[in-house]
Structure 1
Amino acid sequence: MAPLFNLMLAILSIFVGSCFSESPTKVQLVGGAHRCEGRVEVEHNGQWGTVCDDGWDRRDVAVVCRELNCGAVIQTPRGASYQPPASEQRVLIQGVDCNGTEDTLAQCELNYDVFDCSHEEDAGAQCENPDSDLLFIPEDVRLVDGPGHCQGRVEVLHQSQWSTVCKAGWNLQVSKVVCRQLGCGRALLTYGSCNKNTQGKGPIWMGKMSCSGQEANLRSCLLSRLENNCTHGEDTWMECEDPFELKLVGGDTPCSGRLEVLHKGSWGSVCDDNWGEKEDQVVCKQLGCGKSLHPSPKTRKIYGPGAGRIWLDDVNCSGKEQSLEFCRHRLWGYHDCTHKEDVEVICTDFDV
């Protein structure tokens, strides 16, 4: 019996090693109304991913709440009820088995052998929120007292009340998300409102946002408490580019012609330095046209040169952008071109 028993132990150790290997180093709740509610995400080997809800129960949620210092369990919601995870995220854990007394999820039995789980089965958690009323995921954001809705003092909304934002908890990556959420262009500047004319009144939000800069809105960013005694002299002021307005001029349809962009109330052309098919794709997408036909250099320049300003040069897109405003480019009006180098774009007709 001894050889057989040893063999069974060896097989069991292999199974345990493959199914309950390294534990996640971090856990977070994403997409909820505050940091103590949302879809459960774990980090494993440097990668963030979700947890399958197979066997997920209040004991597992209790451990997550304890690890995040979020008080008691409220409920075990479905993770799919929150904003869906990033497209590149995977389900990293098939099963979790906690007795409910562990201090961290890493101390529970975790099965990394994911074989049958989609993001529709992501685990969720809702815990008490121990933070004060001033630490909340913003319901909305706006820029006020600026020359337009794309420049101004940052204010966030919670329970019908607008609050200013302390500069110490803000950075360029967060500004990028705000510009995108407001439908503006690239983030240009972020600084404190030193001028009394730009300072706000009322409550000051004491949260610190952590964003990658790629999120669609602030609700997708992480939130933590800002340990800082801010005054309205440190209110956050930020500026985005105005949203791009595009048109194609001189073609038989609005989906072909010389590219022009609107800036400061004037239409101007775009230089073709480094312009290629990816840039064409973004323009066609933004205009609601079909696919880019990307004419060869020999068939270009059939719509004639533009007149007036050349607004953009050295535009560089990945092709995935929804608008030209998210592509890199020189500062507005800076170029080394003539109108003989104006960009022309030909797309198939409007999408239906």
Structure 2
Amino acid sequence: MVLLFFLMLAIGSGLGFSDFPRVRLVGSHSRCKGRVELWKDEQWGTVCDDHWTKEAVAIVCQELQCGPVVGVRAGRLYSPKAQEDQLMWNLICQGTEESLADCKEDVVKCNDHEEDAGAICEETQVLDGLRLVDGPGPCIGRVEVKYAGKWGTVCNTGWTLQDAKVLCRELGCGRPILTKGSCNKDQEGTGNIWPGQVECQGSEASLNDCPFALMGKNNCSHKDDTWVQCEERFALRLVDGGSNCSGRLEVLHKGIWGSVCNDGWGAKEDQVVCRELNCGKAESQKSRARKSFGHGKGLIWLDDVHCKGKETSLEQCKHRFWGYHDCTHREDVSVKCFGMPDEQGEPRQGWET
């Protein structure tokens, strides 16, 4: 979130968008290391390593609000490599400049991108929080980020599938379903709208690891707030058994509860369910009626589930593709556990991340 810090400064001091950082580090999973690129003449170009020093790297680290310099590295080591027709700037920095854009340009040009400069700064966390709000669940809603104790919305200009993948993963949700929706009038946010364009590759663990690039003047209103829908977190429950630790097994997928077929189901699978719900050990199937909790309705999500017995979640066990089965609800799985409550006195419902 490189631009968030400078947005706060701009609000307080009347700075224009030309005062925002015009440098980024690309080609890694971190905004604080990578190939150096500079925004100049209305386009991004690489920086030549002819005069590249630790002092020059320090300028970049400071401008991106990263920590101190860790190392000076060749930019060609980061993938993907710069395009052949991308401009190159050969800069001479004294180390006292406030921005890389303030460094003088050498009249001697670089030959090719094998001479691109790289930088490694100490990692810092810029975001204080991330959430989806005003939706029907924790995995769908308007994107909001928290910086310096203040929440703000994110403009959907430049928002991509890769950004949504990282967001959903960080929130402990499944894959993104709707990645760049706009909010309805009653779903629009208030307050700050961050003018940063996220540039995630999709494999990052957190939005804090994604660089933010300059996107020009921010013409966004809250009508442009980003709305994202992810698949729901995996969850399971036992129903119609009189307690949270016994009943017919149901799992949540795509926001819909469905049952599980008992083909191949046995003691190991029972134990995984009881463990995940924090309900102690599973009662032996021989000591109870297998179909004592009635038949479900609606979808049958899972079939041919096979666990090793040590999994912490049923989600980790092998099974057919979601929704593929050759069963009826007469074959719904039921589970009965001894029912040891957790520290709060209630069994877990499989929503922790």
TM-score by length of 2: 0.49
